[in-house]
A and B are shown apart, each in its own frame.
Chain A
């Protein structure tokens, strides 16, 4: 191979020397531009990569407080978010890895909009669930979770999913195991009803929404293409506003993901 290339190269060099130096300079310039473009694309790709951890959940689940606690460690009075907040979170151990935490609003009219914007950049998703109001809201929680899970981008990238059962400091909070069981049951029903819904207008959408899990078998979180974990945490912390938040599980998982 090399032998065949060399005579070609020599022929090229001879031609170049013979012809105008202008042509040579033009060729060089083009080469430089091509290399710059390649480097630029490489750098951009690396920079914008998937380095975001999204905090999703229903309204009043505790996402913004969790966000504040993770970043500053202090308690903060929060309001219903109407826009996203993002910040770089440095993992506690000395790995010097950092992820961008993005706190998205949970309100029904806003959540899908922000999810659309940030789902492509998601490396991992933290789905915050209010363990106290879970019994009442189980249908809404399952519906939002279903919407996140059947999203095409999410299915393609398969970011790691952590379901954080928040508000464990309250005595009436449900355990993570119970929440897992309930969610599985609800998602099982949902995928039947959603796939039975009348087909979309233009008939595309690849023949209806994607099938979640395996057909014929009851839905299980292990059937998903991504890794799903359940963790209990409390953004407020057992000691109230002065103490620290109880989320070692969350931090460990973040360290793993980063």
Chain B
């Protein structure tokens, strides 16, 4: 029993010790003489030790509670100078010397707070020196509330508002009303008046057509809204990101507002026409990326043309890299593949297999004795940016025309990996940065591209940071006509889609046909 009690007492958390007054502390007991710095460094360290000794003393007292001691020790040591941390051994020595000298005083002071601590087991309210420790003065609560019979003081109690909807059956538990129901109701409410107006519009449309023959009708927002709503839903159904669809419809509405319609045209056809034009324009952005032309240029300057592939996990970077290298070899350029994916298991082996196959398809004999494809790899776990730099200089020495750099897939939210990618691109300054995205992605495309571009811009030191230069759209054969991802990606980056991957074999590489994609998109 006694053992149990002892154990309980020893494990009890002690009450927070009261701060010592100056008389109690060791400093008052020290002589002035020992604080004077006579020698070189030694006294200084001693002075430093004395600075921390106050809390350290407390830490050493409570040896029974080891956790506290370590906390106490660590806190001042980290707060103190850095030098002290490194000179731990010197500290220990000095501490021992010090304690030997002031053992008596230390025991005295250590004993005095101990009994005090044992006395004050219960929590004692904090006593402020300045203010009155009068609890009554500080109590601002109403005197009448506690214990009084009335539930609330003289507030107005309106039973109607308190109970809410009187029409509810008493005692019945109603289901949770979701916000979406309200929205659906609102939509229905809106649609109902619009339906009769559409019907009227049907008749009016006929007259409108006849009117169109005679006069001219200009488009207003109200005319376009129902059509635009329908088009927006249609676009979203075709896998265009929701915000992009909204923005597109907004811009089309703004463009068409006040436009005079020609004869024999309905609002729907005008809006569809304008939307189609806008989509075609989005898919044919500014400068067309002509890889072969740029490779020829680089060839003339005797330096390799560097292409970097980046993207999230599992979009098809390595597969499409192999397809693009096949295409380049067909056009007579020699390719060096840099395996900068040092993380994923089997990444290097995958590229090695591709290299072997490509060399089998295009043996060196048919190209004047030089190997068209070579793999540059340094195994797993190494720094990707370093491998890329070595690969580029190797290509320059050996006279390769193109270097294709394969990076590891990474999520756009993964900050350290995004930093690593940005570093790779900033350091190696590739000629073309291709973002590989799959056509199956929906609203995620927006987030991916925005975050990738942001990471590349943030971590670049240059004035004009290298951003994504082009997009490779992969797995296009898996979507029938839900080609909206193409729109989302080009809208966000305003960079062209350079290649489209449509399968697993080497020949499944296409270029984008804007009109065909838009036709598939607008098809009912």
B284 touches A194 (CB 8 A): no
B511 touches A199 (CB 8 A): yes
A201 touches B290 (CB 8 A): no
B 264-306 contacts with A by CB, 8 A: 277, 280-281, 284-288, 290, 292-293, 296
B512: Cβ under 8 A from any A Cβ: yes
B509: Cβ under 8 A from any A Cβ: yes
Considering the chains assembled together, what is the distance between the CA atoms of A196 and B509 in angstroms? 12
B296 touches A198 (CB 8 A): no
A201 touches B517 (CB 8 A): yes
Partner of A198, one of B281, B286, B511: B511
B513 touches A202 (CB 8 A): yes
Which residues from chain B contact A139 at a C-beta distance below 8 Å? 293
Render A92-117 as a binary contact track against B, CB cut-off 8 A, 1 for contact: 00000000000000001100110000
B452: Cβ under 8 A from any A Cβ: no
Q: With A112-B284, A198-B327 known to touch, is A190 a contact of B511 (CB < 8 Å)?
A: no
Partner of A108, one of B287, B330, B331, B476: B287
A205: Cβ under 8 A from any B Cβ: yes
Considering the chains assembled together, what is the distance between the CA atoms of A198 and B476 in angstroms? 15
Nearest-CB residue, chain B, relative to A112: B284
A202 touches B292 (CB 8 A): no
Q: What interface size band does chain A fall in?
A: 20 to 34
Q: With A189-B293, A193-B296, A196-B331 known to touch, is A205 a contact of B287 (CB < 8 Å)?
A: no
CB distance from A93 to the nearest CB of B (A): 36
Interface of B, secondary structure class, is: mixed
B 459-497 contacts with A by CB, 8 A: 476
B292 touches A201 (CB 8 A): no
Q: With A108-B286, A109-B286 known to touch, is A198 a contact of B509 (CB < 8 Å)?
A: yes
Nearest-CB residue, chain A, relative to B288: A143
Considering the chains assembled together, what is the distance between the CA atoms of A48 and B286 in angstroms? 31
Which residues from chain A contact B499 at a C-beta distance below 8 Å? 198
B510: Cβ under 8 A from any A Cβ: yes
Partner of A113, one of B277, B500, B511, B516: B277
B510 touches A200 (CB 8 A): yes
Which residues from chain B contact A198 at a C-beta distance below 8 Å? 327, 499-500, 509-511
Q: With A193-B292, A193-B293, A200-B516 known to touch, is A109 a contact of B281 (CB < 8 Å)?
A: yes
Q: Most A CB atoms within 10 A — which of B280, B331, B513, B517?
A: B513
Considering the chains assembled together, what is the distance between the CA atoms of A254 and B222 in angstroms? 47
Q: With A112-B284, A197-B292, A198-B327 known to touch, is A205 a contact of B513 (CB < 8 Å)?
A: yes
Interface of A, secondary structure class, is: helix
B296 touches A197 (CB 8 A): no
B511 touches A189 (CB 8 A): no
Nearest-CB residue, chain A, relative to B282: A109
Considering the chains assembled together, what is the distance between the CA atoms of A143 and B509 in angstroms? 23
Q: With A189-B293, A193-B296 known to touch, is A201 a contact of B288 (CB < 8 Å)?
A: no
Render A223-247 as a binary contact track against B, CB cut-off 8 A, 1 for contact: 0000000000000000000000000
CB distance from A135 to the nearest CB of B (A): 15
Considering the chains assembled together, what is the distance between the CA atoms of A87 and B340 in angstroms? 59
Considering the chains assembled together, what is the distance between the CA atoms of A193 and B292 in angstroms? 6
Partner of A190, one of B287, B293, B330, B517: B293
B 159-206 contacts with A by CB, 8 A: none
Which residues from chain B contact A194 at a C-beta distance below 8 Å? 290
Nearest-CB residue, chain B, relative to A208: B511
B281 touches A113 (CB 8 A): yes
CB distance from A136 to the nearest CB of B (A): 14
Nearest-CB residue, chain B, relative to A143: B288
CB distance from A184 to the nearest CB of B (A): 16
Render B249-260 as a binary contact track against A, CB cut-off 8 A, 1 for contact: 000000000000
Considering the chains assembled together, what is the distance between the CA atoms of A192 and B331 in angstroms? 10
Considering the chains assembled together, what is the distance between the CA atoms of A202 and B518 in angstroms? 12
Considering the chains assembled together, what is the distance between the CA atoms of A108 and B331 in angstroms? 28
A201 touches B512 (CB 8 A): yes
Considering the chains assembled together, what is the distance between the CA atoms of A112 and B280 in angstroms? 10
Considering the chains assembled together, what is the distance between the CA atoms of A199 and B510 in angstroms? 5
CB distance from A193 to the nearest CB of B (A): 4
Q: Most B CB atoms within 10 A — which of A139, A196, A197, A201?
A: A201
B 220-246 contacts with A by CB, 8 A: none
Q: Most B CB atoms within 10 A — which of A189, A192, A197?
A: A197
CB distance from A48 to the nearest CB of B (A): 14
Which residues from chain B contact A205 at a C-beta distance below 8 Å? 513
Q: With A143-B288, A193-B290 known to touch, is A201 a contact of B331 (CB < 8 Å)?
A: no
Nearest-CB residue, chain A, relative to B287: A108
Nearest-CB residue, chain B, relative to A107: B286
B516 touches A202 (CB 8 A): yes
Nearest-CB residue, chain A, relative to B295: A193
Considering the chains assembled together, what is the distance between the CA atoms of A139 and B502 in angstroms? 30
Which residues from chain A contact B285 at a C-beta distance below 8 Å? 109
Render A170-207 as a binary contact track against B, CB cut-off 8 A, 1 for contact: 00000000000000000001101110111111101100
Considering the chains assembled together, what is the distance between the CA atoms of A140 and B500 in angstroms? 24
Considering the chains assembled together, what is the distance between the CA atoms of A45 and B202 in angstroms? 33
A200 touches B513 (CB 8 A): yes
Considering the chains assembled together, what is the distance between the CA atoms of A140 and B287 in angstroms? 9
Considering the chains assembled together, what is the distance between the CA atoms of A199 and B502 in angstroms? 12
Considering the chains assembled together, what is the distance between the CA atoms of A199 and B331 in angstroms? 14
A201 touches B293 (CB 8 A): no
Nearest-CB residue, chain A, relative to B476: A201
Considering the chains assembled together, what is the distance between the CA atoms of A199 and B512 in angstroms? 9
Which residues from chain B contact A192 at a C-beta distance below 8 Å? 292
B296 touches A189 (CB 8 A): yes
Chain A residues in the interface with B (C-beta under 8 A): 108-109, 112-113, 139-140, 143, 189-190, 192-194, 196-202, 204-205
A to B CB contacts below 8 Å, 17 in the list? A108-B286, A109-B281, A109-B286, A112-B281, A113-B277, A113-B281, A143-B288, A143-B290, A189-B293, A197-B290, A197-B292, A197-B511, A200-B510, A201-B502, A201-B511, A202-B516, A205-B513
Q: A140-B287, A201-B517 are in contact. List 5 more A-B contacts (CB 8 A).
A: A109-B285, A112-B281, A190-B293, A196-B331, A197-B511
Per CB-CB distance, the 8 closest pairs between chain A and chain B, nearest first, are A193-B292, A200-B513, A108-B286, A201-B513, A202-B516, A198-B511, A198-B509, A193-B293
